[in-house]
Structure formats: structure tokens, C-alpha cells
Structure 1
Amino acid sequence: MSHRTKRPRKTLPTGIAKVLKRLHYPLEVILLCVRWYVAYSLSLRDLEEMMAERGLLVDHSTVHRWVIKLLRVFEKAFRRHLRPVGTSWRMDETYILVKGQWKYLYRAVDKAGKTIDFLLCARRDTAAARRFFEKAIARNAAPQTVTVDKSGANLAALQAINAERETPIKIRQNKYLNNLVEQDHRSINRRVRPMLGFQNFRCARIILGGIETMRMISKDQMLAPKGNNPSAAKQFYSLVA
């Protein structure tokens, strides 16, 4: 049966309400599809079939539209509830296929494995690495130590940043110590694999931001009221509360 009939919705924050204004499906269906897409190794057609099994006629292109419209709002809301990260960072980049070409997802975690930040870049060079570090520092404050691999570009980016700082960041180049972030890439790559590459850079950035947000929630990086221990799903849905 079709669920295109409008239903009354609870009062939502202005930003969320504006995005949902023309999405004529039950809110719980929209949120479920968006969460499943970023949390699990599912394609859009997988979700279309799963919804059909539940009597919900939702085209895969409709799910994609929900994903693109909502994930930016979710990521922005999540940033307001992010726990502080450690001051010892591990930074590395992984490959992401966009429109048939490899692009580079810069990522960093602290020594406890908590995600610090991420940035999708078209190139893998000193300028891209510096943009990533500047973004991560602006959001989290400067670390005491950053561990990178033997990449000359990453080293040069950190040295350029240190040249402008009174207190330099300690730089370590150690592949063994950087295994932590390399292992963490796997969860992102595993989720991206069923997508068979992104069609454009904008969609890639939005969807990767949603995947990273869901991953951080699963790592318990979202602040919750004292005494509460909500599931990752409830934390994700709370971002529209």
C-alpha cells in the first residue's frame, strides 16, 4: 500500500521542519531509512525492497533524496552534542570512488579511537592535508601530538601549521602507531562498498558526513543526559527532537 498520504507530525525544530516540508511520508519511515542507510552496508535498492516487504512503497530515488536533504541537518545538530576528544591524534587518508575517480577522505582519531574529524578532498597533497588539520583544530582545539605515516605531504602540512604557532604540535611519523586510524577506516569503507562509488562530489561529502556521524554516535561520542544510556538509534533520532 502507498503511504503518500500526509500525516500530522509533531512539532519539529525549524531547520528540520523546513527540510521535511515536501517529503510526504511518515516521519518515522523517513528517519528509519536514513539511519539504516548510514549505519549498515545497504544499498538504496536494498532499502526499497526492505520497505516493500513492510508494505511501504518507497522508491530508491526517494530514499536518496531523503538522505541528501537530511544528513546535512543531522551532522550540524550532532556537532552541538559532541564530547571532547583527546589531544593525541592519529591521522591518515583513505580512498573514496567518486564518478569513477579516486578521491581522498582525510580522517583522524585520538588514541582511544574516537573520531576527531574528516574531510573529503579531490587531491592528496600538502594543501589538502593542511585544510584538514586546520578544520580539525578549529573544531577541537590543537592537539599536543599528531602521528602520521611516512607521507611527506602530511608532514609538510603540519610543519607549515607549526611555523605559525607559538607552541608547536609534536609530530610523529610512525606507521605502527598509525594502525589505529587505518583500522578505523575499515568501518567507513565497509559501509561505502555497497554504494559502488558516488555519482558526484557533493553527494559523497554529504553521505560520508552522515556515515561518520553515525559512526561517532556508535562510539559513544554524543553527549547524553546524566543517568541515560540510550541506544545509538535513539541518539540518532534525538537529533530531530
Structure 2
Amino acid sequence: MHGLDGGFREVDELMPERGVLVSHETVRRWCAKFGQTYANGLRRCRPRPGDKWLLDKVFIKITGEPKYLWRAVDADGTVLDILVRGRRDKAAARRFFRRLLKATRTVPRVIVTDRLRSYGSAHREVMPSVEHRSHEGLNNRAENSHQPTRRREHAMKGFRSVGGAQGFLAAFSGISPRFRPRHLMTAARYRTEMSARFAIWDQITGAIAPPTTA
């Protein structure tokens, strides 16, 4: 199962051909049980995040109620963390900033956001020494990183609870980009890059044993 979003395609297309019959509910439970563990393993393997963070939020509906998905990426597009909240006020921004610092264990040089005032208030309280650039359009990379989530939200016909959305999207955001390189590559480089990524994935998921040290 190559990423959480690939699991449902595997059920629909490949697994029946191999004589393996499981339901969507079974795959959902697999994702809930193992997804975050695998995402944490990938996080430990990735390079230290860049010192420029781009933050954005997007409106989502959960059982018909408006909620907000906060997301932060570095300059390379690596997702640093996500947070689903019911509001976009100072308290939500402050909590997201604190989650980011705890998750990355580092402090950025600069953060880039849109003009939402909540960002400025939380920034002055949580990380006042960090430069804050507030401008529409500067955080396009963060906005673009919402697109895979939108596609998955549509495929799943929405989320049923805040906790369910937080749990799924935290794992999904850590796994899915691993199998979708953002940079343009030649075919040969792409194959080499994906082979390396799948090798790490196999180690994390236990498909192969990690190399032993002498």
C-alpha cells in the first residue's frame, strides 16, 4: 500500500486480481492503526526542515459544519504539521505555532502567512524573534499543498469528525508527498529517486529488515 491514499486503489484494482479480498472498512482500520506510525518513521528520516516556513489555512466542512485546516510547509514544500480547528482566531494560531515548534524541534528564520490578523498576534506571543512576512501570494507553496487533501476529501465524501480528520490528515500529509516528488526530473532520475524512497518505506513498514551495523 503505497501511501494512505493508495490503499483504496489497491483494494479496487490490484488486490482482487491477487486473490485478496478485503473491504474498504478493513483498509480504513489499517490506515488508522498504522498510518501515523509510518508517518512518524518517515519524519525521522527526512532532512532538517528549512528555516523559511509558509503557513496557510483552508476551509473544510465536517458533517456540514465549517472547520479550518491549518498547514505549514518549508520552502521545499515539505509538510511540517497540520491542525484541524473550528476557528481561525488567535487561540487557534497560537496552538498551531506551538505544535510546529514541538514537532520540528527547531525555530525558523522567517514565517510567511497571508494577512489574517490572528497570525500576527500569535507570532508576537509564541515566536517574537522570528521574522514575520504577511502578504497575499507569498505563501503559494503552502496553498498548493492543500490540493492533495482536497482530492482525498472529495474521494472520501468528506470527513465525519474533527478527530477523525486530524488523525487521517496528519498521517496522510506525512506519507502521501513521499510518493509525489514536487520537482521536475528526468525519467532516469525519477526512477532512482523513487527506488530510494520505496527502500526507506519498506524499512519503515517492516517489508525488509533495516541494515545492520558492524
**Structure-2 residue corresponding to 1:38:** 5
Q: Give the deviation of 1:111 after TM superposition.
A: 2.2
2: CA distance between counterparts of 1:93 and 1:75? Answer: 21
Give the counterpart of 1:193 among 144, 147, 154.
Answer: 154
User: Residue type of the partner of 2:122?
Assistant: A
Q: Give the deviation of 1:100 after TM superposition.
A: 2.5
Give the counterpart of 1:210 among 162, 165, 171.
Answer: 171
TM-score (norm 1): 0.71
Name the SS of the counterpart of 2:81 in structure 1: strand
1: CA distance between counterparts of 2:130 and 2:3? Answer: 39
Within 5 A, what are the aligned runs for 1:118-133? 118-133=82-97
| Shift in CA distance, 104/234, structure 1 to aligned 2, threshold 3 Å | farther
2:76 equivalent to 1:112: yes
Give the counterpart of 2:26 among 62, 65, 68.
Answer: 62
**Structure-1 residue corresponding to 2:107:** 142
TM-score (norm 2): 0.79
Give the counterpart of 1:158 among 114, 123, 127.
Answer: 123
Which structure has the greater CA radius of gyration?
1
Alignment check: 8 A CA contact 2:112 2:135 kept: yes
2: CA distance between counterparts of 1:112 and 1:47? Answer: 29
Q: Does 170-179 or 114-123 show the bigger shift?
A: 114-123
Q: Give the deviation of 1:123 after TM superposition.
A: 2.1
How many residue pairs get matched? 194
Deviation sequence 1:61-86 (CA, Å, 0-9, x none): 11111111111221232232231111
Name the SS of the counterpart of 1:130 in structure 2: helix
Consecutive unaligned residues of structure 1, counting only runs of 5 or more, are: 1-31, 221-227
**Structure-2 residue corresponding to 1:179:** 140
| Shift in CA distance, 210/236, structure 1 to aligned 2, threshold 3 Å | farther
User: Residue type of the partner of 2:49?
Assistant: V
Name the SS of the counterpart of 1:120 in structure 2: strand
**Structure-2 residue corresponding to 1:49:** 12
Alignment check: 8 A CA contact 1:77 1:239 kept: yes
2: CA distance between counterparts of 1:135 and 1:177? Answer: 22
| Shift in CA distance, 117/219, structure 1 to aligned 2, threshold 3 Å | farther
| Shift in CA distance, 60/216, structure 1 to aligned 2, threshold 3 Å | closer
| Shift in CA distance, 154/204, structure 1 to aligned 2, threshold 3 Å | same
1: CA distance between counterparts of 2:17 and 2:146? Answer: 33
2: CA distance between counterparts of 1:100 and 1:54? Answer: 39
Root-mean-square deviation (CA, aligned residues, Å) is: 2.5
2: CA distance between counterparts of 1:237 and 1:192? Answer: 27
Consecutive unaligned residues of structure 2, counting only runs of 5 or more, are: 182-191, 207-214
User: Residue type of the partner of 2:159?
Assistant: F
